[in-house]
């Protein structure tokens, strides 16, 4: 299979999206990709972070993870974005990073990249689908090639979201973090993204 570069770029406050991003990176690597795992910069004020012990702890625990840069988009053939839902929308931290991509967009450097998204919410109907759809608005402007997981693997019939891998952390969900089923779905989504990017890259080369 043609070698491809995949960036997994995410924001995580308390660790759920981080766990999903790790699984996505694993899935892409197993599918043959060169992978960059990147978190976006934390923008919340220290007093807000310190008021939630799990948030403060996760920030310390992931201090070693590199922050996303525009080069991570330029380098990539495919990008998976992860964000928690914020009132049915993208987190401000990820959106702030996306808002710096105007130069790349204007130069056409983001066109034809394979893109996909995953998310988590506190409740079962907490805006997971609308968050992924909101990210898709950006992908349309970029001219990205959106690759959702769909129902292309048996695990998708267990997780139930064809838009992108999703986790429920609160009511009716798994407070201990994403389950193995969710992580398996993230691996599948990333592998599908990788295979699609490889096929497109091979086709262009031919």
Buried b / exposed e along 51-67 (16+ C-beta atoms within 10 A):
eeeebbebbeeeeeeee
C-alpha angle 16/190/94, rounded to 5°?
50
Residue 127 — left, alpha, or beta (φ > 0 → left; ψ -120 to 50 → alpha)?
left
Q: What is the pTM of this model?
A: 0.96
pLDDT at res. 1: 73
For residue 206, what are the contacts with CB-CB under 8 A and spacing of at least 6?
A: none
E strand or H helix that includes residue 46: helix 46-50
Q: Is 149 helix (H, G, I), strand (E, B) or coil?
A: coil
Q: Which region among 54-58, 73-77, 167-171 has the lowest average model confidence (pLDDT)?
A: 167-171
Q: Which region among 59-63, 97-101, 167-171, 199-203 has the lowest average model confidence (pLDDT)?
A: 167-171
Closest among 86, 80, 79, 158 to 120, alpha carbons compared:
86
Closest among 7, 4, 74, 66 to 36, alpha carbons compared:
7
How would residue 176 be classed by pLDDT, with cut points 50, 70 and 90? Answer: confident
pLDDT at res. 175: 63
pLDDT at res. 174: 57
Each residue's pLDDT tens digit, 21-70: 999 999 999 999 999 999 999 999 999 999 999 999 999 999 999 999 99
Q: Is the pLDDT of residue 125 over 90?
A: no
Domain count, the chain: 1
Q: Which residues pair with 167 in a beta bridge?
A: 120
Q: Is 162 helix (H, G, I), strand (E, B) or coil?
A: coil
Q: Domain holding 87: CATH number?
A: 3.40.50.360
Q: Which residues pair with 38 in a beta bridge?
A: 9
Q: Give the pLDDT mean for 10-27.
A: 97
Q: Give the pLDDT mean for 106-116.
A: 98
Q: Is the pLDDT of residue 173 over 80?
A: no
Domain that holds residue 13: 5-205
């Amino acid at each position: 299979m043609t070698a491809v570069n995949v960036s997994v770029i995410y924001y995580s406050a308390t660790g759920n999206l981080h766990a999903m991003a790790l699984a996505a990176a694993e899935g892409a690597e197993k599918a043959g990709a060169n992978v960059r795992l990147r978190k976006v910069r934390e923008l919340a004020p220290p007093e807000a972070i310190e008021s939630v012990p799990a948030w403060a702890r996760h920030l310390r625990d992931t201090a070693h993870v590199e922050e996303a840069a525009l080069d991570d988009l330029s380098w990539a053939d495919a990008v998976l974005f992860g964000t928690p839902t914020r009132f049915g929308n993208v987190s401000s931290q990820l959106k702030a990073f996306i808002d710096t991509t105007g130069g790349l967009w204007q130069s056409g450097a983001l066109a034809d990249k394979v893109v996909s998204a995953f998310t988590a919410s506190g409740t079962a109907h907490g805006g997971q689908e609308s968050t992924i759809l909101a990210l898709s608005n950006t992908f349309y402007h970029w001219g990205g090639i959106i690759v959702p997981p769909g129902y292309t693997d048996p695990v998708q019939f267990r997780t139930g979201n064809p838009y992108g891998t999703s986790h429920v952390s609160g009511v009716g969900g798994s407070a201990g973090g994403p389950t193995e089923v969710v992580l398996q779905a993230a691996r599948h989504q990333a592998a599908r993204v990788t295979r699609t990017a490889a096929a497109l890259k091979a086709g262009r080369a031919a």
